[in-house]
Chains A and B, each alone.
Chain A
Amino acid sequence: MTSSETAVASREVPAYLEFSFTGRALEYFGIWIVNLFLSIITLGIYTAWAKVRRLRYFYGNTWLDGHNFEYHARPVSILIGRIIVVSLLIAYNLLVSVSPFFGLLIFLYLLAFPWLLNKSMSFNARMTSYRNVRLNFRGSYWGALLAFVIMPVVALLTAGLLFPLASKLSNDYIGRHLGYGSARFETRAPLKALYGNLGSTILFVIMVTLVCAGIGFVIGSSMVSVGNMIEKGGDELLDVLTFGPITGALIGGYIALAVAYLFYAAGVRNVAYNHTVLDGKHRLTSSVGRLRYVWILVSNLFATILTLGLLRPWAAVRTWRYLASSTGLLAAGSLDHFVDEAAPEGSVGAAEFFDIEGIDFGL
């Protein structure tokens, strides 16, 4: 192979670039506790500054190809957004408690949901940059209505059988309307892979249930002494042998269902990212281990609760680092030709509404 052939080959074989997170738990603990302290003594007003500082830390310490991400929102506008959202929520709750009739406003909310969602996505995308070029989001009302209001309802009505279709629509919708400067993303999540993911999720629930039933059996049978068994006869034995596994299976099934969502979501992320292309040539990759992801979030939860929140910074850093390192970009050529362009600014109020309501899209 001559040197000129090597040059051609290296240009055609895309370079694999891995996302990485350089934040450290102890470092973030300092930021987190200072944020918490200032938020308390300002009766919550500082939370807007705290949010910006937190996101600037996480985005800013996330690197790809020697460049970091940036979060640009201004705390004052976040604060204004929060005040508007909180006032509206209070007013709504007051109205509902004054007369249940106002509960009907929920339909208005459902109709406004796609619009709110687009405004929120636009804002969040617009506040994110990489290499001096901002992300942007140009949604469509009917697309969002189908993907985020109609499809989830249909999926529930079909007892979950259409969940993969709902996941496809929502991820394709987000991918298709997201842009990086003047370049567009394009997501085409294949249904087959999404159904495969649903199958693994069901298998996961069954396995966890069975394992817990086994543990229940071991615990149940160790609790009764052999002497007791002989004395009381076969009935007692039967009770013990069935009680342990059934209890174990019930608890296990409950836990499995509670975390199945995480397992499923991690799988959907992989499928969606792996079928997302930027500017027609750069491919995103995601290789989140579904079991590992569930383990990280569940152990984070216990660590956070057992330390009354003190390990929350460690848990947040741990999750973010894992997700970043599981994400990559197959770059076909250099990334320096992107240029920014004017795009919808979105609405901070809509973004804060989803933030306060704890509604989150994607991982």
Chain B
Amino acid sequence: MIKGRYFPAGSARVVAASLSGTRDRLVLHLENEPDAADAKLTSVSDPIAGVPRKLTFADGGVFEAPLGADVDGLLKTGGTFFARLTRLEANLGLVAAVAVVTIGLVFAAYRFGIPLLASGAAAITPAPVVAAMDRGTLETVDRAVFSPSQLNAGRRRKLQAMFEELSQLAGDDGPALRLELRQGGMIGPNALALPGGTIIVTDELVGLAASDDEIAGVMAHEIGHVRERHSLQQIYRVLGIGFMVGLVGGDASQLVDDVVTQASALQALVYSREFETHADLYSVGLMVKAGRDPLAFVGLLDRIVRDAGGSGETGWLATHPGTKDRREAVRKRAEALDGAGETAQE
């Protein structure tokens, strides 16, 4: 028998009461009422630490068992999911074990799970959606940043031909590649790749280049972004990180939200460094295939750095961070490919 208190249907009034009987036939006895009544149970609140169990009956009345009362014993519900879960949550040893496993899981999800899911999601994103994203983005940046290219027709044709040559070597595994030339305006010497295969190169970048190989290197780098679906992966990764943070701090207040937003922006930068390295390496491979100088674009990078000088990080650098570390990686890859090429020829 459990002594507790009873609320009549829809009322805040309390009556001392007791509940007895078995799961199949519960008997509710109200104080000051001589007759005990059969009570038809409709629901029981799930157990959770510190909260009294409440049993709701068919007539809308609610019986509240005091804390610690053996409701599960009376109703034979000790084996339900939440009954087990409540016992687990109160067992410090098990909680510690769950904590260790969860920390491991969070780390694994962050390090491997999210990148893996992101690249999977990027691969299955329907091509028409991606193409439409390109149109939308191009429309927006054309209005906000770019103006039509001022290069003469001959120069433009030569650049298109060079791009065509690289695209052919890059193969057609993925969206069709397309070169758009624009005057960069506020973003200066720059090149960007949209996920649907549109690659934008600015007049300023062309102007700064000392040779065609330098421009080709940048084009190959951007083609790398498209072929390896970096923009889409980036979008999905940021979503994934946001979701993870939401899980950990799901009940967090405004202040936490603000900081978390800043942190995700930083995280996006970390990811983009990783993608830059990949695109560099892709560029080296493609340039070697095209019989061009794979290291040329490093020179262009240096010139942009010098050009940006006092005005801070502008142009390609703002969207392509970490020039210093990258050059070394590019050189190594080029040497490795070079060596491999020579052995193959022998």
Binding site for B on A (CB under 8 A): 22-24, 26-27, 29-31, 33-34, 36-37, 39-41, 44, 47, 50-51, 53-54, 56-57, 60-61, 67-68, 70, 94, 96-100, 130-133, 181, 258-259, 261-262, 297-298, 300-301, 304-305, 309-310, 312, 316, 319, 335-341, 358, 360
Contacts and interface: CB of A to CB of B under 8 A. Distances in A.
Interface residues of B, number: 51
B14 interface: yes
Given A99-B135, A133-B10, A316-B251, 20 more contacts: A22-B50, A23-B49, A27-B50, A31-B89, A40-B247, A47-B247, A56-B45, A56-B46, A57-B49, A57-B50, A68-B52, A94-B129, A99-B132, A99-B136, A130-B12, A131-B14, A133-B12, A259-B255, A304-B249, A309-B249
B268 interface: no
Contacts of B85: 34
A100 B259 contact: no
Contacts of B30: none
A132 B12 contact: yes
10 contacts: A27-B90, A34-B88, A34-B89, A44-B247, A54-B251, A99-B139, A132-B7, A262-B255, A297-B253, A336-B11
Interface stretch (B100-108, B204-212, B299-307): B100-108
Contacts of A338: 11-12
A297 B137 CA distance: 40
Given A31-B49, A97-B133, A98-B135, A339 B12 contact: yes
B243 interface: yes
A61 B248 contact: no
Nearest to A54: B251
B198 to A, nearest CB: 13
A201 to B, nearest CB: 15
B217 to A, nearest CB: 29
| Residue of A30, A99, A131, A309 with most chain B CB atoms under a 10 A cut-off | A30
A101 to B, nearest CB: 8
| Residue of A41, A130, A309 with most chain B CB atoms under a 10 A cut-off | A309
A181 B251 CA distance: 28
Interface in B250-276: 250-259
Contacts of B237: none
Chief secondary structure at chain B's binding surface = helix
B146 to A, nearest CB: 15
B255 A297 contact: yes
Contacts of B135: 98-99
Nearest to A51: B250
A37 B98 contact: yes
Contacts of B45: 56, 70
A24 B51 CA distance: 12
Contact of B253 (A33, A319, A336): A319
B48 interface: yes
B247 A181 contact: no
Nearest to A359: B254
Nearest to A131: B12
Interface in B106-121: 106, 109
Interface string B1-16: 0000001001111100
A301 B256 contact: yes
A319 B256 CA distance: 13
Given A22-B50, A56-B46, A309-B248, A337 B133 contact: no
Given A34-B85, A261-B254, A301-B255, A60 B102 contact: no
B139 A100 contact: yes
B171 to A, nearest CB: 26
A272 B168 CA distance: 69
Contacts of A70: 45, 51, 54
Contact of A40 (B106, B132, B137, B259): B106
B247 A340 contact: no
Nearest to A26: B92
A99 B120 CA distance: 25
A96 B140 CA distance: 11
Contacts of B255: 258-259, 262, 297-298, 301
Nearest to B133: A97
Contacts of A29: 95, 99
A67 B51 CA distance: 10
B71 interface: no
B48 A31 contact: yes
Given A31-B89, A56-B48, A57-B48, A37 B102 contact: yes
A21 to B, nearest CB: 10
A307 to B, nearest CB: 11
